[in-house]
Amino acid sequence: MRIRDKVFEEDWELTSLTALGSTFIAGAHHLFGALAVSLIIIQSAFSLNIYIFAIWLVLGVVILMTDFFKGTQMKLSSEVTFGLFFIFGTILSLLLANPNSMFFPATLGRVDIIIYQSLAGLCIGLRFLSTFYYMEYLEQDHPFVKTRSKYTREQVQQYKDNLIKTDFEYISPEGIKTLQKWIVLFRRMLWPFMLLIIFAALAALYALMIFYLIPEDSLAEYIIRPSLILVAIIYSVLLIRTNAILPKIVDVDTQDNRQQEKNSDTEATEDGIENIS
Amino acid sequence: MEEERHFELTKNGKIFILFGSLFVIIGLAIDTLLLIVPGVLFLVVITSTFISFIFSHTYSFNTKMSCSKDFMRSRGLLAVAVELTNPSRRTILTKISLRFSFHFKSIDKPETILIKLLPQKKTKIVWLLLASRRGNGEIGPIEISVGSFQYLFKHKRILKDTQQIKILPQRPRINIPWKTKKELLLKMVHEFAQRVKGRGDEFFALRDYLPGDQLKHIDWYATARHDKLISREFEDQRNLHFLIYLDLSSTMFGPKFEYALSSVVELCSLIKGTNHDLAVVAYSENVQKYIIPQVGKHELRLMLNLYDIEATGVHSSFLNAVKFTKNNNVLHSIAIIFSDLEGDLVKKLQGIHLLQTMGSRVIFVNFATMHFNILSSQDWMLDRTEDMNYGEILQDVFPSIVSDEYRKREIELRQLLYSIRGDYVDVFGYDDNIILSLFRLMKKYSPTQRLVQEAMRRAS
């Protein structure tokens, strides 16, 4: 370590924001992942399906271990791998399912299995939601410095005092509370939820219409589900097309930052030479 | 201010759209709510970003950014004020981040802040920045993130207002140990004092032996060399009387005065440690406070008295302060004046003259205004002026006029001081230390330096 760096570290402490809810959210994130897996494991235990039990036990251990090793650091890319894991596990257990397990295609009508499925799905959804929330409000990527030595503490205090009654009077605006953040999050999702419900209702209406016109189970099976699938495909295409229509500007900032980092390195060496001379 | 709007579905956003539809399709195909539920949730989240974009893409913000300085030293502090006005009728929750170059680091507050902008109200945020590197720094642009889930759907306003700030290399940090400071002071005092022979420990000169001289004072080597009795003389140990003048006029008001006062306190506490005498005269138009330090346990009282001093005067008259010392027969052999070049210079010059006639050595310490005050930034002054045309003229002309005037005054003062064997010390900002400045001054007058200078003069 260079001497001047050491001097700097004696005076200033490099920190990043640790919000009160961050560890809680990270914990909840891990918990929901584990809960989803354990729900499946419990169901497969009840249904006496040793294959699914074994598969999800292994997957659960892998997911838990990766989560715990990452600690409070959350990334969207790791969530994507988690999602792919889940799809993979689902397809694998679909092949090995018995009539009692939740992965058997013909058991949709049973209430207990619907509850298990929707609960596990909700857990996965909440896990993803907690990641979004964390990325949005609690990410710890905003470093700043704190005073460490008495000298710097006095320096900063003195500077703040000198700025009183000027345009630069030091003000720290009130932050937003955790509860309020959650409220905002859900309020922002209210509209899209309604929109989606309207979409789904229209699809269901269409399907029901066909169901009453052709009161044959097999035909409904062939029409309801494909129509919903079509809605999902059309909707995602719609979203992507909407994005293509919107005006957007190419982000140049990242390149600048990279260049700045290079500059800082050269600057540092220049400084060092000057100090020695 | 120029505004750039960014609307973009990020890579993550695209992945999550595909993910959502994949979850829903597979879930529907194999009859599993396990995949349908999260898939629907993904689509909902993505849709919410689009909806929030539709609602908020017309928002515009009035923003004003100002920095407290245009140039500064490394390891110095800078205040950046950002004023945001929300002209719409809705309360907007935004994430505001101030971008700045790698030269700066934010203090006690991350560069990104989440705040609520109330409708049709001004919100002000002040960032304190530490300049950690030298070079040409840049403050700005300001990024305002509108709407949630910026990782999936980027919706930002970039206000392209940047300000260049020159960061000069840092002055070496002064952290002198107490003991060294005391040694420096003693050396300095020794240099300043007029040497008088008498009883003491320090050698002064050799002279012929006179009857009555003590035998132990005879220098036997010299006696042998000259073949006659020669004895040593010693320097008298005399107490010096320091007199410190502290200017309380309005021009000293503010951070400059605080620094001047702390310098006075430092010097006083150092001098108290030696066997020299000390008095402090704080003056504005007349003498406001005259402090004679107490001995022993009352020493604390001096410090407390000193900290009571406040800059209250409007104008100051140094001449009146000197007259006060003359009328009250205050002993002084070294007068140190803590003041600046502002105000009535003639009175200062007259006062210095008078001091010199009273036989004291004068040191004038100038707390340079341009380096101390936040007033040195042009922005700060412009905010106060209502007439913009006048402000523009002021911006162009005023700084140069001020600096020219300061230079003229400095030359005048230096001429007078050097003619009466006085000295002039500049204190540039908070990085300067009074003891070190005085010691630097003393070094200029030390015998070795003087010899070197004479030799140089002869050579040229």
CB atoms A196 and B43 under 8 Å: yes
Judge if B416 and B276 occupy the same domain. Answer: yes
Phi, psi of A127 (to 5 degrees): -60, -45
Mean pLDDT of chain A: 77
Judge if B83 and B49 occupy the same domain. Answer: no
Could you give the CA distance from residue B21 to residue B36 in angstroms, rounded to a whole number?
A: 9
CB atoms A168 and B24 under 8 Å: no
Q: Say which CATH number the domain at B276 has.
A: 3.40.50.410
Q: How many CB pairs under 8 A join A and B?
A: 251
**A17 neighbourhood in chain B, CB within 8 Å:** 110
Q: What is the DSSP letter of B82?
A: E
Would you call B31 an interface residue with chain A, using a CB distance cutoff of 8 Å? yes
- Which of B139, B168, B197 is a domain's end point? B168
Residues in a beta bridge with B100: B139
Would you call B7 an interface residue with chain A, using a CB distance cutoff of 8 Å? yes
Could you give the CA distance from residue B19 to residue B300 in angstroms, rounded to a whole number?
A: 74
Residues in a beta bridge with A147: A12
pLDDT along chain B (460 residues), means of 10: 74 86 86 85 85 79 85 86 86 87 89 85 89 86 84 83 83 64 72 60 81 87 91 76 88 77 84 81 88 68 73 82 90 87 87 88 83 48 47 54 80 90 81 78 67 73
Residue B191 belongs to some domain of the structure? no
Would you call B56 an interface residue with chain A, using a CB distance cutoff of 8 Å? no
Could you give the CA distance from residue B93 to residue A181 in angstroms, rounded to a whole number?
A: 10
Could you give the CA distance from residue B426 to residue B340 in angstroms, rounded to a whole number?
A: 9
Helix residue spans in A134-252 (DSSP H): 150-162, 178-213, 217-245
Judge if B269 and B129 occupy the same domain. Answer: no
Would you call A42 an interface residue with chain B, using a CB distance cutoff of 8 Å? no
Residue B220 belongs to some domain of the structure? no
Residues in a beta bridge with B164: B138
The β-bridge relationship of strands B3-9 and B153-159 is antiparallel
pLDDT per residue of chain A (277 residues) written in tens, 0 to 9: 677 778 788 889 888 766 666 778 888 888 998 899 999 999 888 888 888 899 999 988 888 888 888 777 777 788 888 888 888 888 888 888 888 888 887 655 678 888 888 899 999 988 988 888 887 777 656 788 999 888 888 888 888 887 887 778 887 777 677 777 778 777 777 877 787 788 778 877 877 777 677 666 665 567 777 777 888 888 888 888 877 776 665 444 444 444 555 555 444 444 444 444 3
Judge if B299 and B163 occupy the same domain. Answer: no
**B35 neighbourhood in chain A, CB within 8 Å:** 86-87, 90, 121
Which B residues in the span 402-441 are in contact with A, Cβ-Cβ below 8 Å? 430
Q: In this structure, are residues B78 and A155 in contact, taking their beta carbons and an 8 Å threshold? A: no
Q: Report which residue type is found at B338.
A: F
Which B residues in the span 299-328 are in contact with A, Cβ-Cβ below 8 Å? none
Residue B403 belongs to some domain of the structure? yes
Could you give the CA distance from residue B374 to residue B72 in angstroms, rounded to a whole number?
A: 11
Residue B98 belongs to some domain of the structure? yes
Nearest CA-CA distance, residue B131 and chain A, Å: 11
Q: Report which residue type is found at B283.
A: Y
Which A residues in the span 199-218 are in contact with B, Cβ-Cβ below 8 Å? none
pTM of the model: 0.55
Dihedral sign of CA atoms B67, B70, B75, B76 in order: negative
User: A124 exposed, middle or buried (CB, 10 Å; 0-12, 13-18, 19+)?
Assistant: buried
CB atoms A147 and B107 under 8 Å: yes
ipTM confidence: 0.74
Could you give the CA distance from residue B425 to residue B279 in angstroms, rounded to a whole number?
A: 20
Could you give the CA distance from residue B267 to residue B302 in angstroms, rounded to a whole number?
A: 12
Residue B197 belongs to some domain of the structure? no
Mutate to test the interface with B, among A39, A118, A189 (most CBs of B within 10 A): A189
CB atoms B77 and A86 under 8 Å: no
Q: Enumerate long-range contacts of B444-448, CB under 8 Å, 24 or more apart.
A: B445/B191, B446/B191
Judge if B408 and B382 occupy the same domain. Answer: yes
Would you call B140 an interface residue with chain A, using a CB distance cutoff of 8 Å? no
**A142 neighbourhood in chain B, CB within 8 Å:** 110-112
Judge if B335 and B350 occupy the same domain. Answer: yes
Nearest CA-CA distance, residue B429 and chain A, Å: 12
Judge if B148 and B27 occupy the same domain. Answer: no
**B51 neighbourhood in chain A, CB within 8 Å:** 188, 191-192, 195
Q: What is the DSSP letter of B76?
A: -
Residue B208 belongs to some domain of the structure? no
At B365 the pLDDT is: 92
Residue B356 belongs to some domain of the structure? yes
Q: Examine residue A143 and say whether the peptide bond preceding it is cis (omega within 30 degrees of 0).
A: no
DSSP labels, A7-41: HHHHHEEEEE---TTHHHHHHHHHHHHHHHHHHHH
Tokens 């940047």 label which residue?
B162
Mutate to test the interface with B, among A3, A188, A251, A257 (most CBs of B within 10 A): A188
Would you call A266 an interface residue with chain B, using a CB distance cutoff of 8 Å? no
Nearest CA-CA distance, residue B307 and chain A, Å: 16
The β-bridge relationship of strands B163-168 and B71-73 is parallel
Q: What contacts A28, CB < 8 A, 6 or more positions away?
A: A126, A130
- Which of B142, B168, B194 is a domain's end point? B168
- For residue B156, give its domain range: 62-168
Cα–Cα nearest to A185, from A37, A68, A21: A21
CB atoms A118 and B25 under 8 Å: no
CA A237, chain centre distance (Å):
22
Q: What contacts B454, CB < 8 A, 6 or more positions away?
A: none
Could you give the CA distance from residue B246 to residue B336 in angstroms, rounded to a whole number?
A: 9
Q: In this structure, are residues B369 and B316 in contact, taking their beta carbons and an 8 Å threshold? A: no
Judge if B28 and B108 occupy the same domain. Answer: no
SS3 B297: helix
Residue B190 belongs to some domain of the structure? no
SS3 B111: coil
Determine the Cα angle at B319 with ends B318 and B320, to 5°.
90
Which B residues in the span 322-381 are in contact with A, Cβ-Cβ below 8 Å? 374, 379-380
At A139 the pLDDT is: 65
Cα–Cα nearest to A251, from B106, B155, B48: B155
Q: What contacts B64, CB < 8 A, 6 or more positions away?
A: B1, B82, B83
Q: Nearest CB to A239: which of B46, B114, B133?
A: B46
CB atoms A192 and B48 under 8 Å: yes
At B277 the pLDDT is: 83
At B190 the pLDDT is: 67
CB atoms A90 and B35 under 8 Å: yes
Judge if B292 and B392 occupy the same domain. Answer: yes
Q: What are B385's two structure tokens? A: 């002026």
Could you give the CA distance from residue B454 to residue B445 in angstroms, rounded to a whole number?
A: 12
Could you give the CA distance from residue A105 to residue B31 in angstroms, rounded to a whole number?
A: 5
At B295 the pLDDT is: 62
Judge if B246 and B262 occupy the same domain. Answer: yes
Q: What is the CA radius of gyration of chain B?
A: 34
CB atoms B43 and A235 under 8 Å: yes
Residues in a beta bridge with B218: B231
**B43 neighbourhood in chain A, CB within 8 Å:** 196, 232, 235-236, 239
Number of domains in chain B: 3
Q: What are B96's two structure tokens? A: 């505001």
- Which of B168, B193, B226 is a domain's end point? B168
Judge if B85 and B20 occupy the same domain. Answer: no
Determine the Cα angle at A252 with ends A249 and A258, to 5°.
160
**B14 neighbourhood in chain A, CB within 8 Å:** 240, 243
Could you give the CA distance from residue A44 to residue A111 in angstroms, rounded to a whole number?
A: 16
Q: In this structure, are residues A74 and A135 in contact, taking their beta carbons and an 8 Å threshold? A: yes
Taking residue B188's Cβ as centre, other Cβ atoms within 10 Å add up to 19
Which B residues in the span 152-171 are in contact with A, Cβ-Cβ below 8 Å? 152, 154, 169
SS3 A65: helix
Cα–Cα nearest to B417, from B368, B369, B361: B361
Phi, psi of B309 (to 5 degrees): -65, 135
CB atoms B102 and A235 under 8 Å: no
DSSP labels, A82-105: HHHHHHHHHHHHHHT--TTSTT-G
Nearest CA-CA distance, residue A60 and chain B, Å: 16
Q: Say which CATH number the domain at B108 has.
A: 2.60.40.10
Phi, psi of B158 (to 5 degrees): -110, 115
Could you give the CA distance from residue B208 to residue B212 in angstroms, rounded to a whole number?
A: 12
Judge if B36 and B149 occupy the same domain. Answer: no
Taking residue B457's Cβ as centre, other Cβ atoms within 10 Å add up to 8
If you measure CA to CA, which chain A residue comes closest to B155?
A248
